[in-house]
């Protein structure tokens, strides 16, 4: 149990509710044609930015525990930082350090995986997101493991690729496939049999999250494990064929199976070893459950055949439920989180979002912890997400979330509330500028509703985001800051997160004379939010947290 919060001597705290609003994927960028936030009609957000104190928060790179400032932030590390008040080394950095130091390959799990296939003269399979986006995975980690496997005497390797087009360019698949084919061709010899065995777009197969669409996992299982599906001679052939036939971007490519003479080259069979090499947890849990669940303990779909394999994840994706049972790198131990401190102080808390980001305001906010710190003091509410392409419903569930949030605020039960609106991120990932503008306008309507209730109850709201996305919907020239155009004057859609800062607005019509918002010197990050929130509640922040953005007078 962590230490308790100490009350401030010079400020009793806000009498009404204290609310953190996370506008997922809403960064700050120049108001060019690429910026769906600036291009949308958002009178409430415009009012907030012009009339209320605002600082910009860093939401990427080292500010959220990633290896370098070239690494875009994401919702998982962002919510870790928001909820923990500190910066912890995160997945990509942990994995890279483990590979560089050799700890991964000295681990008992790696040794067991390798020994299994050598003993059985069987296959080592690698399955994961195939890019250098560094949000869910990195192709360099895959390459390092393949090289090590060959060095340790593994004779057969099959790779199952989940094509990105979301954290990297929307049609960049061949930029990864072609060099990788050359890489494995150099490794292949009479004692080392290696090839790509299957694949598909990340939003079509395997990488579902929060059990929103188990059919994605079913399609992945059929493709990677059973070898069922449309056959091609190579991954490149599959990508080119689907693009020509369907006109889809990479993340939406249908599944494909690589075959020779009509036979799949890489089904998963008894005695094999399987590594799911994503380091991020949310889209890794369901496929891990599918591999690990015993007969009679799995009811999501008919697996048809369940091979007896040794399965491991890159990390332990859920530390409380221990998913998966075996993993290569231990995740960061995130302690002394905001939720734990508030629970110890007897503060009633509410966390709410729709399915797509529910885990972010609960699991990730709480330091990768599934359960509550206090069943009595914490309430979690999940509004079920629609299972439709987000560009078709860009408003998502923001109105329903707001309905329930207002109900909870008006109940008077909760002193601290946090809410995530996924619109800017989930719709931004589609690459549709029009839909993303619509998503921002829908969100703006809800902000107006919420702030009216905050005022009626004598509360305070902090409006921020976890990373950028909707702020840069086209590829942008880093030198000019303007969208890149091809020879025909067309802009190329950008579906990934951005490196832009995010807003942090303090909406307070009652207590602003009790404190000052510190000058924005460019040093603040998402981890400064926790201390700010507990200050507004009338508590001093723990010493290990990063400083508050407000100073009590």
**Which pLDDT does position 254 carry in this prediction?**
98
State the first-to-last Cα distance of the chain, in angstroms, to the nearest integer.
Answer: 31
278 lies in some domain: yes
297 lies in some domain: yes
CATH number at residue 288: 3.40.1450.10
Q: Token digits for 521?
A: 């010197």
Q: Token digits for 150?
A: 């060959």
Q: Token digits for 392?
A: 């078709």
Give the residue from 423, 505, 450, 537 showing the smallest Cα distance to 11: 537
**Which pLDDT does position 244 carry in this prediction?**
96
Q: Is residue 268 domain-shared with residue 410, that is, in the same domain?
A: no
Q: Is residue 142 domain-shared with residue 54, that is, in the same domain?
A: no
310-315 and 273-276 beta bridge pairing: parallel
**Which pLDDT does position 489 carry in this prediction?**
83
460 lies in some domain: yes
**Which pLDDT does position 320 carry in this prediction?**
57
Q: Is residue 311 domain-shared with residue 354, that is, in the same domain?
A: no
Query: DSSP readout, 43-72?
Result: HHHHHHHHHS-EEEEB-SGGGGT-SSTTSP
550-552 and 515-517 beta bridge pairing: antiparallel
DSSP-H helix ranges across 283-397:
285-292, 338-344, 355-359
Instruction: State how far Cα 374 lies from the chain centre.
Output: 26
Give the residue from 128, 152, 163, 176 showing the smallest Cα distance to 274: 128
DSSP-H helix ranges across 351-502:
355-359, 398-411, 423-426, 433-456
Q: Which of 2, 50, 68, 75 is catalytic?
A: 75
Q: Is residue 307 domain-shared with residue 379, that is, in the same domain?
A: no
Q: Is residue 364 domain-shared with residue 440, that is, in the same domain?
A: yes
Q: Assess contact for 36 and 430: CB atoms under 8 A.
A: no
In tens digits, the chain (553 residues) has pLDDT values of 457 999 999 999 999 999 999 999 999 999 999 999 999 999 999 999 999 999 999 999 999 998 778 888 989 899 999 999 999 988 788 899 899 999 999 999 999 999 999 999 999 999 999 999 998 999 999 999 999 999 999 999 999 999 999 999 999 999 999 999 999 999 999 999 999 999 999 999 999 987 889 999 999 999 999 999 999 999 999 999 999 999 999 999 999 999 999 999 999 999 999 999 999 888 999 999 999 999 899 999 999 999 999 999 999 887 657 899 999 997 778 999 999 999 999 999 999 999 999 999 999 999 988 899 999 999 999 999 999 999 999 999 999 999 999 999 999 999 999 999 999 999 999 999 999 999 999 999 999 999 999 999 999 999 999 999 999 999 888 788 888 888 788 898 888 899 999 999 999 999 999 999 999 999 999 999 999 999 999 999 999 999 999 999 9
Q: Is residue 307 domain-shared with residue 374, that is, in the same domain?
A: no
1 lies in some domain: no
Q: Which three-class secondary structure state does DSSP give residue 281?
A: coil
Query: Per the structure, how many domains does the chain have?
Result: 2
Neighbouring CB atoms inside 10 A of 441's CB total: 18
Q: Is residue 355 domain-shared with residue 248, that is, in the same domain?
A: no
Neighbouring CB atoms inside 10 A of 117's CB total: 24
Q: Is residue 345 domain-shared with residue 445, that is, in the same domain?
A: yes
DSSP assigned state of 310: E
CA dihedral 78, 84, 86, 89 (to 10 degrees): -60
Look up 330 and say whether it is catalytic.
Answer: no
Instruction: Give the integer Cα–Cα distance in Å for 1 and 343.
Output: 10
Q: Which three-class secondary structure state does DSSP give residue 109?
A: helix
Instruction: Give the integer Cα–Cα distance in Å for 335 and 491.
Output: 44
**Which pLDDT does position 490 carry in this prediction?**
86
Q: Is residue 377 domain-shared with residue 322, that is, in the same domain?
A: no
pLDDT (tens digit per residue) in 335-372: 999 999 999 999 999 999 999 999 999 999 999 888 99
pLDDT (tens digit per residue) in 235-247: 999 999 999 999 9
Give the residue from 539, 549, 529 showing the smallest Cα distance to 22: 529
Q: Is residue 429 domain-shared with residue 531, that is, in the same domain?
A: yes
Residues in contact with 422: Cβ distance below 8 Å, sequence separation at least 6, in sequence order? 24, 25, 353, 354, 356, 357, 385, 396
378-383 and 156-163 beta bridge pairing: unpaired
Instruction: State how far Cα 247 lies from the chain centre.
Output: 26
**Which pLDDT does position 477 carry in this prediction?**
84
Beta strands per DSSP E along 206-326: 231-232, 256-260, 263-264, 273-276, 310-315
Range of the domain at 118: 92-329
302 lies in some domain: yes
**Which pLDDT does position 496 carry in this prediction?**
84
Q: Assess contact for 180 and 173: CB atoms under 8 A.
A: no
Instruction: Give the integer Cα–Cα distance in Å for 83 and 93.
Output: 20
Strand partners, 312: 275
Domain boundary (296, 311, 329) is at 329
**Which pLDDT does position 67 carry in this prediction?**
76
Domain boundary (305, 329, 353) is at 329
404 lies in some domain: yes
Domain boundary (275, 310, 329) is at 329
- Residue for token digits 């390797």? 157
Q: Assess contact for 91 and 280: CB atoms under 8 A.
A: yes
Q: Is residue 487 domain-shared with residue 412, that is, in the same domain?
A: yes
**Which pLDDT does position 79 carry in this prediction?**
96
CATH number at residue 355: 3.40.720.10
Q: Is residue 131 domain-shared with residue 266, that is, in the same domain?
A: yes
């Amino acid at each position: 149990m962590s230490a308790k919060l100490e009350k401030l001597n010079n400020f009793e705290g806000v009498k009404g509710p204290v609310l953190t609003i996370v506008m997922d994927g809403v960064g700050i960028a120049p108001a060019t044609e690429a910026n769906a936030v600036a291009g949308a009609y958002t009178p409430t957000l415009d009012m907030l930015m012009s009339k209320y104190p605002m600082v910009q928060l860093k939401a990427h790179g080292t500010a959220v525990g990633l290896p370098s400032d070239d690494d875009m932030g994401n919702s998982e590390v962002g919510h870790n930082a928001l909820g923990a008040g500190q910066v912890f080394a995160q997945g990509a950095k942990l994995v890279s350090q483990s590979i560089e130091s050799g700890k991964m390959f000295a681990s008992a799990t790696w040794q067991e995986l390798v020994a299994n296939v050598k003993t059985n003269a069987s296959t080592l399979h690698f399955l994961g997101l195939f890019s250098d986006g560094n949000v869910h995975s990195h192709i360099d980690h895959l390459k390092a493991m393949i090289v090590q496997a060959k060095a340790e005497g593994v004779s057969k390797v099959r790779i199952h690729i989940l094509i990105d087009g979301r954290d990297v360019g929307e049609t960049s698949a061949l930029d990864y496939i072609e060099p990788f084919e050359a890489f494995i061709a150099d490794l292949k010899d009479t004692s080392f049999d290696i090839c790509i065995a299957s694949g598909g777009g990340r939003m079509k197969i395997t990488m579902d999250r929060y059990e929103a669409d188990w059919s994605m996992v079913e399609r992945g299982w059929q493709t990677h494990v059973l070898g069922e599906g449309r056959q091609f001679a190579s991954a490149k052939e599959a990508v080119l064929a689907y693009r020509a036939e369907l006109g889809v971007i990479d993340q939406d490519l249908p599944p494909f199976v690589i075959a020779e003479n009509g036979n799949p080259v890489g089904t998963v069979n008894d005695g094999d070893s399987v590594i799911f090499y994503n380091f991020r947890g949310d889209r890794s849990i369901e496929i891990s459950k599918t591999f690990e669940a015993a007969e009679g303990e799995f009811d999501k779909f008919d697996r048809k055949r369940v091979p007896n394999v040794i399965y491991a994840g890159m990390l332990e994706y859920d530390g409380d439920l221990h998913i998966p049972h075996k993993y290569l790198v231990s995740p960061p131990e995130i302690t002394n989180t905001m939720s734990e401190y508030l629970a110890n102080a007897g503060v009633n808390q509410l966390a709410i979002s729709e399915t797509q980001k529910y885990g972010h305001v609960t699991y990730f906010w709480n330091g990768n912890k599934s359960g509550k710190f206090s069943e009595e003091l914490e309430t979690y509410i999940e509004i079920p997400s629609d299972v439709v392409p987000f560009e078709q419903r860009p408003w998502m569930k923001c109105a329903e979330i707001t309905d329930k949030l207002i109900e909870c605020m008006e109940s008077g039960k909760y002193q601290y509330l946090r809410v995530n609106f996924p619109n800017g991120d989930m719709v931004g990932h589609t690459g549709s500028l029009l839909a993303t503008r619509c998503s921002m306008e829908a969100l703006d309507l809800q902000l107006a509703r919420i702030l009216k209730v905050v005022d009626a109850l004598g509360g305070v709201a902090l409006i921020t985001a976890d990373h950028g996305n909707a702020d840069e919907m086209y590829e942008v020239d880093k030198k000019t800051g303007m969208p890149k155009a091809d020879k025909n004057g067309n802009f190329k859609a950008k579906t990934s997160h951005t490196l832009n800062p995010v807003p942090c607005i303090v909406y307070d019509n009652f207590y602003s004379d009790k404190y000052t918002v510190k000058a924005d010197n460019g040093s603040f990050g998402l981890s400064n939010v926790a201390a700010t929130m507990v200050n507004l509640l009338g508590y001093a922040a723990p010493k290990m947290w990063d400083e508050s953005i407000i100073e009590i007078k």
